[in-house]
Amino acid sequence: MGGRGPIEFVVSRAWSLWGGVLHEVNMRSSPLSLTAFAAALALSTTACVENESSLFLRGVVAITSEDCSATADPASAMLANGVLDTGLTSTYTAALLVGNQLVARGSADQLRTETARIALRGAEVRLETTTQQRLREFSVDGTGFVDPANGTSPGYGIFWATLVPSLTGVRPPTTVLANVRVYGRTLGGREVESGELAFPIVVCTRCLVSFPPEALDGDGECTVPSSDETELPCLLGQDQAVDCRACTATHTACRRP
């Protein structure tokens, strides 16, 4: 058998996985060596893995109270977990820091446009309890833009996503896990999807309302300020505490300790 070449066989059908879609390939007329076929199959099945390394979620950015914005910077303060106060809101919205590790391809000298920028289009969210009991799955539409990497430094962008759309099936006090992944498309037309980020959210009732002694009247109720002495947080009912005087006129949870 030393003088024989590579073993060949005829494949009538094969399937290739590109961009998460299974495509049938007609191969009736092309004999294919076993080595070449195995190499092609391995390459096709790693496409999704490559996409997950190209686009990734670094975490949830803490919203600054000064301007209520999130900065697409890995040095920004990040949240280890979220807090949702059901006495003030029934939803939770997160500023996801999204990274892009695709290398820039544009060149002004060669008149080549940049194709590695990613336009974000949405997110897939799966809500679970801490014991992995599934509560719900849903999709979130949205927009965002992530520049390509600069050398070995990824480019970053912000994607705003609702991680808890309602309190259906959630009974405080508890903690839920929001498993989220984002997806989009490069300017070159390639579909990309991130790996999954598991973000814990503590769900409580009136845990973010503060009642300073000077804010209470003789009956123990929170007083309504005569002027704008207090300010509401950027997202009322999530992550940031609020003085009862800022919300006593609109929320019963703020009226009495």
pLDDT score at 228: 66
As given in the structure block, the two tokens for residue 68 are 């209520």
pLDDT score at 134: 96
d(CA 176, CA 89): 16
pLDDT score at 65: 75
d(CA 219, CA 96): 43
What are the helix (H) ranges across 134-239? Answer: none
Which of 135, 139, 140, 157 is closest to 148 using CA atoms?
157
Residue ranges, the chain, pLDDT below 50 = 4, 6-30, 32, 37, 40-50, 106-111
pLDDT score at 64: 79
pLDDT score at 103: 84
pLDDT score at 16: 42
